Amino acid sequence: MIHSLFLINCSGDIFLEKHWKSVVSQSVCDYFFEAQEKAADVENVPPVISTPHHYLISIYRDKLFFVSVIQTEVPPLFVIEFLHRVADTFQVGSSNVGDTLPTGQLSNIPWRRAGVKYTNNEAYFDVVEEIDAIIDKSGSTVFAEIQGVIDACIKLSGMPDLSLSFMNPRLLDDVSFHPCIRFKRWESERVLSFIPPDGNFRLISYRVSSQNLVAIPVYVKHSISFKENSSCGRFDITIGPKQNMGKTIEGITVTVHMPKVVLNMNLTTTQGSYTFDPVTKVLTWDVGKITPQKLPSLKGLVNLQSGAPKPEENPSLNIQFKIQQLAISGLKVNRLDMYGEKYKPFKGVKYVTKAGKFQVRT
């Protein structure tokens, strides 16, 4: 029923949070802070606040707000009673902390310390996407999904306030945010607005699950056959670029778990090298990168156990690859703006696409 609970003081600091299911970003409290600003007095903050995806139900006790996050409609009085029980367990007494704290250690932003200084101010972002796909023997896509992340490396002095915008943000599904993201700004404008932590952190993770938006960057022509009552078979695969937006596909590896009746393989490759382990029956072809002028192929004979029945089904091909400077979803950063500081930082964005679980059925 209650998804998350945030404890907030009168200064607007979230100093304690508890999640019973998945983690809800602190940015959901922006709706509460907005209602708090409109209220003439802390006692007048509405106890129930409706947001696009949640309900915020809160009480005010001993100079603290107890704010619960609810995802479905529930009787508010039931939740309020529960919050009062929680508040009863807190014994609010005097603090032993002195009035003076060391400078440069604390700020009103929980994830960023004050007084950060750098000689070179830099903000770099890595957009990394992995394609999970299943391709059937005819080359049609059975399943395709992109799992993406944006990792940040922020080395900026002071207390910078950043805004990161995209050319096409609406293709993103199921986005998970770092707590620094202002969720309300994302909901209304599809802009990532945040005061960043110092150093390396994951800004967002996301999915692109609509199959018509998932480009398949490689294709495989394959012919794998085993004859009945025969001690040999044929193996022939060729790999080529498909929807790669003009970028080079590199680091290609094809792994095939051959049937148990396979004794050995005598193959010839036009590119790269292959190995076959007769114990595990795993064929590994290290292709390297594709040049469209000459497509890499691997073909030859498969030696089978004499008298063994023909394999019931052909093996699947598991493919790994990497494409630099490309987000296969088409996601592109439009611009990064900085507010609150006067210097001009170095900024950069790198893109990379990798195969996740990428399988071609034969």
Same domain, 206 and 331: yes
Contact 113, 105 (CB under 8 A): yes
Q: Which residues of the chain register pLDDT less than 70?
A: 91-108, 211-212
Is 141 inside a domain boundary?
Answer: yes
What pTM value is reported for the model?
0.69
Quick one: pLDDT at residue 211?
Answer: 65
The answer as to whether 358 is a domain residue is: no
Query: Which pLDDT score is estimated for 104?
Result: 45
Question: Do 59 and 43 lie in a common domain?
Answer: yes
Same domain, 192 and 229: no
Q: Is residue 362 part of a domain?
A: no
Residue 305 domain-assigned (yes or no): yes
pLDDT tens digits along 58-104:
999 888 999 999 988 888 888 998 898 888 877 554 344 444 444 44
Contact at 8 Å (CB) between 119 and 77?
no
Q: Please give the Cα distance from 152 to 165 (Å, whole number).
A: 14
Q: How far apart are CA 194 and CA 1, in angstroms?
A: 30
Residues 198 and 347 in one domain: yes
User: Which pLDDT does position 315 carry in this prediction?
Assistant: 93
Same domain, 198 and 331: yes
- Residue 331 within a domain: yes
CB-based contact 47:76 (threshold 8 Å): yes
Residues 71, 125, single domain; the answer is no
For residue 105, the model assigns a pLDDT of 47
User: Beta strands 218-226 and 262-269: pairing type?
Assistant: unpaired
- pLDDT of the residue at 98: 40
- The whole-number pLDDT of residue 24 equals 84
Cα(110)–Cα(117) distance, integer angstroms: 18
Do 179 and 237 fall into the same domain? no
Same domain, yes or no: 224 and 205: no
Domain count, the chain: 3
**pLDDT score for 273:** 96
Do 207 and 347 lie in a common domain? Answer: yes
Distance CA 157, CA 118 (A): 5
Residues 261 and 170 in one domain: no
Give me the domain span that covers residue 183.
120-212+327-351
Q: Give the domain CATH number at 201.
A: 2.60.40.1170
Whether 305 and 243 share a structural domain: yes
Q: Are residues 6 and 63 located together in one domain of the fold?
A: yes
